Structure 1
Amino acid sequence: MTTDDLWSRGYNLLPNSPVKVDGSLFQPFIDSLESDDEQYHSMVLIMNLVQLNGFVNDYTAAVALHAFVIETRNRLLDARGLDLSMIHRKQEGLRLWDEMAGRDAAMTVFHFGKTLHNVRTSLRRTPTIKDKVNDDDLRNARRELERQFRHYEIARDAVGHRAESLESVEKIKRDSVRDSSGHRYQMGYIEGDNYVATYKGQKLSVGLDEKTLRALTQIARQVYSAFPAFIPMLPKLDHNSDINI
């Protein structure tokens, strides 16, 4: 998949053109709530719902960067007139960009999961919203996130504490997975279209392809469907709008 492929499917990442949500659309509902406490907690819940779309946009940018790296690497291999040392330097730069995309995608999924958790916990303090929410959609969204992104909960530590794993042999073993050859430690790198890393005996694998992006988008869409009264006011999640990266 090239960057042109990504754009042609509607993922238009144009600078300085953010997807904006008009907060005033929610104001009549907020004002209708009887207590200040529920109003405040309802605003927090709505902010988390909107933020899910922001994380889908972040994931889109990571997928786009990975596609750009592949496209540029292929052009580099076909280029003429470059000496071998120049090709090696450019290849190394592309590798670093690719791993940057992978780390950001992994952290984005982690934040997406935390935001979904925030939505669910906020319902305890927003009884008016809770009475009208579709609990099945929320449960199914959480299950699908766990199915599509196994061990996503370790992403923050696997990405954010990479150097700490190299403190000692014991920590390397702790953060490895075991296979037939023994301990296998993966600090974080790109394997095909996936970013892979290990932490505390678990392996994280995050897809950097359109299929995975669509899966994350669908999970966000399912969360939104749990709040039918808010759907007209929430981001559309169709990516036909410009997204600020």
Structure 2
Amino acid sequence: MTVPRMLQLRPQPKFKLDMIPESERRNADIIRMNIAQLHTRATDFWTGKALFDSLNRQRGLTYQLWQVVSARDCMMSIYHFGRTIEGIDLSLGQCRSLRGIIDATAKRDARKRFEKSFPSYIKIRHALAHSAERTHTEANTKRHSKKGPIDRAGLGPEGMAKVFGPATMAAAAGIEIMMDGLLGHRFTTTWEGEVVECDINDASGKILDEIVDAFWGAFSPVIVPAPTPPPTKEPSVPPAPPTSDKSDRQS
């Protein structure tokens, strides 16, 4: 039976302390804990996604509202994942010895992949954390609203004009739009006059998991390998008792 991703645990890494000077061990331990936290943050995303998917199969306004709540949690899990990566790099700046041991290229590539895959993670966090402040004043409302029309299908200005017509496009151009909502499995909000989005699906979760693996691989020279379980042996079968021939006993 396949275990759901949100229930899959991963042991915390242990560093080879003999490779790290005493003066750097505290910061190295922070890095070790943050590497473990990457898996936890990815698991948080999968947990929120499981709730999101479960609610998506329901019908009714209550379930739709709950689904938005689960979507927000997924967005914050991605944000915390990114900040954890940032923390690893900050602490690594205090560990000169580690910088010469780990695969710095693999670590850098993993961070770049995260930032490319989730380019709006900080803006989405700000939109959620400062939701009310976006409408504090008229100035704030104008600052954070997006004037329509919004190109959700990637049609471009000419394509949208053909689909909606000049009159609709002209009317939409004067409407200020501010939203936190869902389009299928995509969470959408606005920040600083920009529409920012992120997908809540298996692809996003798998990217997070692969980045976790990349960080483990980058730091593998200093991570104590997990003990190899002893090989399993077939249970020994006791030898069958010798058979006796009746003719031998009678003679």
TM-score (norm. length: structure 1): 0.74
1:11 correspondence with 2:1: no
Alignment-derived partner of residue 109 in structure 2:
140
Q: For 2:76, which of 107, 117, 126 is the aligned residue?
A: 107
Unaligned 5+ segments in structure 1 are: 1-7, 74-90, 234-245
In structure 1, what residue type is equivalent to 2:185?
Answer: D
Sequence identity (%)? 23
Task: After TM superposition, give the deviation of residue 183 of structure 1 in Å.
Answer: 5.8
Alignment-derived partner of residue 11 in structure 2:
21
Q: Tell me if structure 2 keeps the 8 A contact 1:173–1:183.
A: no
In our comparison, the structure showing a higher alpha carbon Rg is 2
Q: Tell me if structure 2 keeps the 8 A contact 1:157–1:199.
A: yes
Alignment-derived partner of residue 207 in structure 2:
215
Any residues of structure 2 matched to 1:1-245 within 5 Å, and which?
10-13=3-6, 19=9, 21=11, 25-26=14-15, 29-30=16-17, 33-35=20-22, 37-73=23-59, 91-180=60-149, 181-182=173-174, 184-229=176-221, 230=223, 232=225
Task: After TM superposition, give the deviation of residue 117 of structure 1 in Å.
Answer: 0.8
What is the CA RMSD across the aligned residues, in angstroms?
2.3
Alignment-derived partner of residue 237 in structure 2:
none
Task: After TM superposition, give the deviation of residue 178 of structure 1 in Å.
Answer: 4.2
Q: Tell me if structure 2 keeps the 8 A contact 1:198–1:204.
A: yes
User: Once superposed, which parts of structure 1, at least 4 consecutive aligned residues long, lie more than 6 Å away?
Assistant: none
Deviates more, 1:170-179 or 1:187-196: 170-179
Alignment partner of 2:188: what SS?
strand
1:27-78, Cα deviation, whole Å (9 max, x unpaired): xx2365332x3111111111111100000000001111111011223xxxxx
1:168-207, Cα deviation, whole Å (9 max, x unpaired): 2321221123454256533311111011111112332121
Unaligned 5+ segments in structure 2 are: 150-172, 227-251
User: 1:22–1:104: structure 2 CA closer, same or farther, 3 Å change rule?
Assistant: closer
User: 1:104–1:175: structure 2 CA closer, same or farther, 3 Å change rule?
Assistant: same
Alignment partner of 1:72: what SS?
coil
Alignment-derived partner of residue 166 in structure 2:
none
Q: Tell me if structure 1 keeps the 8 A contact 2:114–2:211.
A: yes
In structure 1, what residue type is equivalent to 2:116?
Answer: R
Q: Tell me if structure 1 keeps the 8 A contact 2:27–2:95.
A: yes
Alignment-derived partner of residue 241 in structure 1:
none
Task: After TM superposition, give the deviation of residue 122 of structure 1 in Å.
Answer: 1.3
CA–CA separation in structure 2 for the residues paired with 1:172 and 1:72? 34
Q: How many residues align?
A: 202
User: 1:138–1:52: structure 2 CA closer, same or farther, 3 Å change rule?
Assistant: same
Q: Tell me if structure 2 keeps the 8 A contact 1:45–1:122.
A: yes
CA–CA separation in structure 1 for the residues paired with 2:113 and 2:175? 30
In structure 2, what residue type is equivalent to 1:194?
Answer: R
Task: After TM superposition, give the deviation of residue 146 of structure 1 in Å.
Answer: 1.7
1:68-108, Cα deviation, whole Å (9 max, x unpaired): 011223xxxxxxxxxxxxxxxxx222112111111111111
Between the two structures, name the one with larger relative contact order (CA 8 Å, sep ≥ 6): 1
In structure 2, what residue type is equivalent to 1:45?
Answer: I
User: 1:165–1:190: structure 2 CA closer, same or farther, 3 Å change rule?
Assistant: same
Alignment-derived partner of residue 239 in structure 2:
none
User: 1:32–1:135: structure 2 CA closer, same or farther, 3 Å change rule?
Assistant: closer
Q: Tell me if structure 1 keeps the 8 A contact 2:148–2:177.
A: no
TM-score (norm. length: structure 2): 0.72
